[in-house]
Amino acid sequence: MGRQYFGTDGIRGTVGQSPITPDFVLRLAHAVGQVLRKTEARPTVLIGKDTRISGYMLESAMESGFNSAGVDVVLLGPLPTPGVAYLTRAQRASLGVVISASHNPFADNGIKFFSAQGTKLPDAWELDVEAALQQAPAWVESAQLGKTRRLDDAAGRYIEFCKSTFANDLTLKGLKVVVDAAHGAAYQIAPKVFHELGAEVVSIGCSPDGLNINHEVGATHPQALVAAMRELKADFGVALDGDADRLQLVDNEGRLFNGDELLYLMADDRLGRGEAVPGVVGTLMTNMAVEVALKARGVQFVRAKVGDRYVLEELEKNRWILGGEGSGHLLALDKHTTGDGLISALQILQALVRSGKTMAQLLAGVALFPQTLINVRLSPGQDWKSNAAMQAATQAVEAELGDSGRVLIRASGTEPLVRVMVEARDAVLAQACAQRIADTLRA
């Protein structure tokens, strides 16, 4: 049976449209409860959420669904996705649930799950849930109904966990840090983490009203942070997304650093301290300059499919620690089981404090290759993979670029588009090569 509801990162959609409706979410929680009770008599589930107005409605529906299946619920309130993953493990819960649509606008929402170990769940588990959704509900008797309580200090526990990943002998005293939480789940937590480590903190994007999450702020709209940095003359700027699992950083000159550059900095810091870094995992979209720079340091580099779950799969397969995406999903598996924007920021700031250098200085030898991305709309039924002209043009471009560039052609997962990406040391060459390939698809 294929997956009807689960995508690459849980279930997501527009609120009020299937499947993000209260009746479906109740059924979903009930089905998950049935799956949990196959292996555990009295499961306990933690539920956290971001700041979307729809979170209240979906949280109530999910709570009822779990209780009806004989599952106890612990409500965490607004908490970053990685915070839910951490507390699921720390509380020895059976499952962690996050109600969030991450970087999407407020009208969207979603549900994602973490295992008892604080990790993403495998496809087989999701298929079990989908199968349970096809079955009739099995309401437990009144005496077996689940109960619900609230964990009042969830945010404080997660703050202490984040701080524990920062070196005890270092401090952020003397540094002015601007924190942009995208009006999302970390709006109270992120400023406190940096303040309690000694920094002077200025907060933007920390005033959620249920409707403004990710709106012109945060990691997906870093221009707000860049502008604030220039105005406030701060040392560092930290931008998170709505559920705080991705990160962008800005330096004191207003320069924005993406996830590819930050991934290199994390590896560079460990190498500089004499730690072994046998390999790093990026994605198909990771800038080639990072791959070249890591290989020059003797570090293997592997590309996974786009999506942090695929990066995690490659890390686990190779037994490596560091991986990430240009979007700012960064993984340091010796610090946390999942991508965490706050912990990633602390790893970078720790490296900067320890070295006494700026991000620009540490990245002086890693000049990102220019990328050109062209979207080509397909005609109905168009078989682009068998296009001989495209294949010939691609081979010619790859031969021309050699080791100084690369080509990536992939279909959109949501639209009838083919994305043609060419990366080269020269921007004009990248544009010309991408256009040559794209033109064969339009012919």
pLDDT for 443 beyond 70: no
* CATH class of this structure's domain 11-152: alpha beta
pLDDT for 2 beyond 80: no
Unique residue bearing structure tokens 């009806």: 68
Domain spanning 157-252: CATH superfamily: Alpha-D-Glucose-1,6-Bisphosphate, subunit A, domain 3 (3.40.120.10)
Give me the residue spans of the domains in the chain. Answer: 11-152, 157-252, 257-362, 371-442
pLDDT for 153 beyond 70: yes
pLDDT at 83: 98
Helix intervals (H) in 91-212: 123-133, 154-164, 189-196
Beta strands in 287-415 (DSSP E): 300-304, 322-324, 330-332, 371-377, 405-411
Distance from C-alpha of 396 to C-alpha of 108, rounded to nearest angstrom: 43
Same fold: 11-152 with 371-442: no
70 residue type, one letter: G
Distance from C-alpha of 417 to C-alpha of 378, rounded to nearest angstrom: 6
The torsion angles phi and psi of 48, rounded to 5 degrees, stand at -120, 170
Cβ-Cβ contacts under 8 Å for 290 (sequence gap 6 or more): 260, 261, 263, 264, 282, 301, 366, 368
Unique residue bearing structure tokens 């087989």: 124
Distance from C-alpha of 266 to C-alpha of 293, rounded to nearest angstrom: 13
> By percentage, how much of the chain surpasses pLDDT 70?
99
N- to C-terminal Cα separation, the chain: 38
pLDDT for 330 beyond 90: yes
When pLDDT is cut at 50, 70 and 90, the band that residue 7 belongs to is confident
pLDDT at 130: 96
Name the region of 205 (left: φ>0; alpha: ψ -120 to 50; beta: rest): left
Helix (H, G, I), strand (E, B) or coil at 441: helix
- pLDDT single digits (tens) 365-391: 899 999 999 999 988 888 899 999 999
More confident: 343 or 120 = 343
Domain 371-442 annotated CATH 3.40.50.300: no
pTM: 0.92
pLDDT for 138 beyond 60: yes
Distance from C-alpha of 288 to C-alpha of 261, rounded to nearest angstrom: 11
Q: Are 294 and 264 in contact (CB under 8 A)?
A: yes
pLDDT for 264 beyond 90: yes
Instruction: For residues 352-376, give the mean pLDDT.
Output: 94
Q: Which residues are tagged catalytic?
A: 102
Residue 37 DSSP code: T
The token pair that represents 163 in the structure block: 């701080």
Instruction: For residues 408-434, give the mean pLDDT.
Output: 91
Residue 120 DSSP code: B
* CA nearest to 130, candidates 221, 3, 233: 3
Helix axes 154-164, 81-90, angle to 10 degrees: 90
pLDDT at 1: 56
Q: Are 340 and 79 in contact (CB under 8 A)?
A: no
pLDDT for 312 beyond 90: yes
pLDDT at 412: 79
User: Mean pLDDT for the chain?
Assistant: 95
pLDDT at 377: 92
Instruction: For residues 276-297, give the mean pLDDT.
Output: 96
pLDDT at 101: 96
Architecture (CATH level 2) of domain 257-362: 3-Layer(aba) Sandwich (3.40)
- pLDDT single digits (tens) 11-22: 999 999 999 999
